[in-house]
Structure 1
């Protein structure tokens, strides 16, 4: 890192990479110095769009660029293991888009690489860095609604998505669960930790990915989470947390809310709204700021998005896939069985 700020490299040039880079360039202590794509033409067009100094037509050149402090991996998630692994072994710190990998085996490999090389690694679970979500968690942890009894959350897109779309492609880790269901699962585990048991049902596509999935997670405390995701129906994208002494409702966009309502037993409802100073509710700046804070502090992982928590979410996603019978081509012949592990 230099006195001018943290130097970022962007690996991939799709929509989420563009959204993240647009937020980065607005941060005074961030510098986007390089971008890479498998296509030199795509990398150069992206670099011109955002005023980036260097454009690479391959991943390795970015991974080996010693002037890059941290790489944001924004490839489709089936490539996260390869892309992030290359960066970590080349000495780069990494922020890797969600879902972290296809399965917990791959996730564990990345965590081991980061720890072996002493590099920072974090899943880009922006929900965990959102100030209003952090406020909600603090209220729950402080007992504002008593002991948590139930969590409900949904995330569905209307589609329809054609068979050739990445959301329908098993080779790209398609299906509702990894792309959308990771949010309800991560929300439940933010509040309750890793569940002790998982049950699930799904409707599968002819290609073998989940079109919609419903899961019930349970904890030894007696808490339950009822979660749903879909790529065949647009849902309300709401969440609710019910405790022994009250309830918190997020009426829309629970993973990047503009407000939530606290209902305490015997008291008037209280509304908590996002601070306009924090930027648009769709802003990815908070996860970028957390990465830069951690790098300056010499930390190799974030306390807001800890690696053990990421691994726990991946175990739950694997368990759900195991229950509903979704297995990706890259997992064929996996002797460990971890890709479809059952908790």
Structure 2
């Protein structure tokens, strides 16, 4: 009998069909494609800095309204939820504008540049009675639900160690978003948020954080090796870098077994489980034609939470969003301090 449970999926047709206003046209291209292809969610309005590119984006995705400003988009009565997909430093101001306009908001990761800004955004959403969530799409993938069930059932025993890596070879360009301090550059805010969020989902917030790393000539972190520990004794060993391609895998080790998330662990890929020395059991997720089509799962989940009247995601609550950024804040501080 298989040990790996089936994922508990939300029926995309059973949730409210929300009208999405999109700010930014970068990762939003993959997001809008995914929701139009796999959900009942629809992008109805868009705004971005470059008017020509914004119009082309709207035409490509069948979006009817192109707004000249963020203010116009968030105050559009035909928009139910705002998707903030701009560079990190813009998230706070744009999210707060959407919340003030009474809109639900999904904000690309990281939700803000630091934990204090994240808390401000999330508290504002709660006070306004709207749903605000970070677009940590990994939390909404089918494999994430399988992982939660494995942990809840205690199949791995007492959790001892989490390992995760995310390295990508990024050409050094001082003018690019990746290396520009003013644009929230650095490996930790771009790639590292995934590995810290994964560790958090397994062992919770750390009480001990140790980090070493390197800085690019522009002053942003371009690699980090991180050790985390909780009061319960569980640990995490995490690595991220702009200087090399790494396996992009994640693993959880417990007193009874191990669970591996296949590569790339941030997308819908699959799991490998071994318990009590038994043969390895593997489950692969082949439901989506492309990795980033998995972005659709978070949109369906978000709409279901709106339908339930929630102000935060039950699988990615506000306190954890802030805790992950607090960990990143400390990692970056230690790397900068040398």
Query: TM above 0.5, one fold?
Result: yes
Of structures 1 and 2, the one scoring higher in RCO (CA 8 A, sep 6+) is 2
Are 1:259 and 2:309 an aligned pair?
no
Q: Is the 8 A contact 1:238 1:253 kept in 2?
A: yes
Are 1:125 and 2:136 an aligned pair?
yes
The Cα of 1:250 is off from its aligned counterpart by 2.3
> Matched residues in 1 for 2:98 and 2:51: separation?
19
Task: Name the TM-score, length of structure 2 as normaliser.
Answer: 0.92
Q: 1:237 to 1:306 in 2, by over 3 A?
A: same
> Matched residues in 2 for 1:28 and 1:200: separation?
40
Could you say which residue in structure 1 is the equivalent of 2:4? none
Q: Is the 8 A contact 1:88 1:117 kept in 2?
A: yes
> Matched residues in 2 for 1:140 and 1:8: separation?
34
The Cα of 1:4 is off from its aligned counterpart by 8.4
**Among residues 223, 239, 249, which one is paired with 2:260 in the alignment?**
249
Are 1:285 and 2:296 an aligned pair?
yes
Tell me the alpha carbon deviations over residues 163-196 of structure 1, each in whole angstroms, 9 at most, x when there is no partner. Answer: 2111110001101001000011000000111011
> Matched residues in 2 for 1:40 and 1:156: separation?
34
The Cα of 1:307 is off from its aligned counterpart by 1.2
Q: Which range moves more in the overlay, 298-307 or 182-191?
A: 298-307
The Cα of 1:79 is off from its aligned counterpart by 0.9
**Among residues 10, 18, 22, which one is paired with 1:10 in the alignment?**
22
> Matched residues in 2 for 1:93 and 1:6: separation?
10
> Matched residues in 1 for 2:227 and 2:297: separation?
30
The Cα of 1:90 is off from its aligned counterpart by 1.3
Are 1:228 and 2:271 an aligned pair?
no
Cα RMSD of the aligned pairs, angstroms, is: 1.6
> Matched residues in 2 for 1:4 and 1:102: separation?
31
Could you say which residue in structure 2 is the equivalent of 1:300? 311
Runs of 4+ aligned residues of structure 1 deviating over 4 Å after TM superposition are none
User: Which stretches in structure 2 are left out of the alignment for 5+ residues?
Assistant: 1-14
> Matched residues in 2 for 1:85 and 1:257: separation?
31
Q: Which range moves more in the overlay, 154-163 or 185-194?
A: 154-163
Tell me the alpha carbon deviations over residues 78-134 of structure 1, each in whole angstroms, 9 at most, x when there is no partner. Answer: 111111111111111100000110001110110121012111100000000011122
Could you say which residue in structure 1 is the equivalent of 2:123? 112
**Among residues 145, 149, 155, which one is paired with 2:160 in the alignment?**
149
The Cα of 1:266 is off from its aligned counterpart by 3.0
**Among residues 215, 229, 246, which one is paired with 1:204 in the alignment?**
215
The Cα of 1:216 is off from its aligned counterpart by 0.4
> Matched residues in 2 for 1:209 and 1:311: separation?
21
> Matched residues in 2 for 1:125 and 1:4: separation?
21
Q: Is the 8 A contact 2:31 2:292 kept in 1?
A: no
> Matched residues in 2 for 1:28 and 1:132: separation?
19
Q: Is the 8 A contact 2:39 2:296 kept in 1?
A: no
User: Which stretches in structure 1 are left out of the alignment for 5+ residues?
Assistant: 327-343
> Matched residues in 2 for 1:295 and 1:166: separation?
32
